[in-house]
Structure 1
Amino acid sequence: MSIRATTSIKDILWPAVFTACMAWLVWYFPRFIVFAGLANDNLNSGYLGAGPIDFAIMAGAVVALVMGLRHARTTAGEGVIETPIDRLSLFLGRVTMLLVVILVGVMFYEVMLRYIFERPTLWANELSLWMAGFIFLLSGLYSMQQRNHIRIYLLYDVLPRPVQRICDVISTALICVFAFAMIWGSWNEARDKFLRWETFGTAFDPPIPATLKPLVLLVMVLVALQAIANLIADWHKGPESHGVIDEGEVEDMIQTARAQHEQGRHD
């Protein structure tokens, strides 16, 4: 039992440490921009260059990432880890789960203050929006790794395995083309927003544009790499079939519909 408990603690520990370190780094990242000499006048006047504490926390984030990747493991209902990118997607999935918990806590705190104590915050709404953006993007990567993204299997399941492979190649190629188009069309805008550390323009003024715009491009690259890794890992697997129809369940639905129809006629 002690081994199981220790493993569970490690599963939570490293994503939590990584999340805490990245929260600090994201909020104070203008210090690194100033340190690199890439800042504009506004950043130069508002921030000092990165110091020892900032670099120590960056090192902590790297250590947490490495250890988290090393100890990443699947739980019941999750697919197996077959490639290195699977480990990264799974680890970031754990980070996303922690962000969901934090987001719920922030929203609960805001509701309590707003409707019970009548003292709403100036930061909860923007922070919730900011975190929701991170959750939305990172959960897409986790969904791709788990093969849980939206797909229409009606035609795919009846095809022979060689034709299924052709469909997989086409879909993966389309994902890669889309990722390339996103980077090609948005790189300059994302770079500019990042380097000038563009903020949201509210009282709290979080750097939502400066962080989410580059993150969209980064996640698109990771999704494309994950799609390629899925294609390679699934290439020699047998025919895929998704969702066998339960005839009994269908019959129950028909009987229920008929009963509701008859009841409606009598009413």
Structure 2
Amino acid sequence: MCLAIIAVMLYEIAARYFFNSPTAWAHEVTTMLYGTFCIIAGTYTHRYQGHVRSEALYHLFSRRGKAILDTLTGSLVLFVLIVFFMASVDFAADSWARGEMSSRSTWAPPLYPFKTVLPVAVGLITLQSAAHLIRDICVAFNLGCDACETRGSE
């Protein structure tokens, strides 16, 4: 995705400054690609627990204490993600139903494929959050399942 953004920007720079012929589509394409990249990268980051968390007190807890805290916060996050997923599905479905086109440029590309990325990414991060929550519940309640051991080795 990053390479595609770079390629489009290089093309735009060459067209604008070397051939005095700027494109009508490059800015919008890079915006769509960057938005897609960011939402998918958030899911990847969540998989490896790379998001920022306040470590001031968290590191003082035992593994089980961390799992209990993560179970509480993970339950809330999962609820919010499910609500967001349902809203994003409606958002994308509405865009498909209207055949939504961009009004930001004369190029007017279709927006519905890019708006479909939102529920896909939210669905993926919801599944990843559910997996983390199950692992945290296993650790918090000493259930001794294989998922608990996987979490500890990540």
TM-score by length of structure 2 reads 0.79
1:264 aligns with none
Higher RCO (CA-CA < 8 Å; seq separation 6+): 2
Q: Distance in 2 between matches of 1:150 and 1:211?
A: 30
1:164 aligned onto 2:100: no
Counterpart Cα distance in 1 of 2:116 and 2:110: 12
The alignment partner of 1:183 has SS state of: helix
* Equivalent residue number for residue 11 of structure 1: none
How far the C-alpha of 1:164 sits from its partner, in A, is 0.6
Q: Contact conserved, 1:179 with 1:224, CA < 8 A, in 2? A: yes
Contact 1:172 1:224 in 2 (8 A): no
CA shift at 1:214, angstroms? 3.1
Q: Which residue of structure 2 lines up, in the alignment, with residue 206 of structure 1?
A: 109
When residues 136 and 182 of structure 1 are mapped into structure 2, their CA distance, relative to the original with a 3 A threshold, is same
Pairing 1:60-139 to 2, within 5 Å after superposition: 99-139=1-41
Where do 5+ consecutive residues of structure 1 fail to align?
A: 1-98, 241-267
Kindly provide the amino acid, as one letter, of the partner of residue 207 in structure 1.
P
Separation in 2, partners of 1:214, 1:187? 8
- Structure 1 residue runs of 4 or more that deviate by more than 6 Å after TM superposition: none
State the 1:184 CA deviation: 3.8
CA distance in 2 between counterparts of 1:180 and 1:227 reads 10
Aligned residues: 141
Does residue 143 of structure 1 match 2:48? no
1:144, distance to aligned residue in structure 2 (A): 0.9
Shift of 1:166: 1.0
Aligned partners of 1:154 and 1:135: how far apart in 2? 31
Amino acid of the structure 1 residue aligned with 2:51 = H
Identity of aligned pairs, percent?
Answer: 27
Please give the alpha-carbon distance, in whole angstroms, between the structure 2 residues aligned to 1:153 and 1:185: 32
Question: 1:186 Cα shift?
Answer: 4.4
Deviation at residue 233 of structure 1 after TM alignment: 4.7
1:154 paired to 2:53: no
Letter of the 1:109 counterpart: Y
Normalising by structure 1, we get a TM-score of 0.48
RMSD: 2.3
CA distance in 2, matches of 1:115, 1:153: 48
Provide the rounded CA distance (Å) in 1 between the counterparts of 2:135 and 2:64: 15
Secondary structure (helix, strand or coil) at the match of 1:154 reads helix
Other-structure match for 2:145: none
What is the Cα deviation at residue 142 of structure 1?
Answer: 0.8
Q: Distance between the aligned counterparts of 1:223 and 1:197, measured in 2?
A: 27
- Give the Cα–Cα distance (whole angstroms) in 1 for the partners of residues 77 and 115 of structure 2: 19
Give the alignment of 1:5-16 within 5 angstroms: none
Question: Does residue 228 of structure 1 match 2:146?
Answer: no
Larger radius of gyration: 1
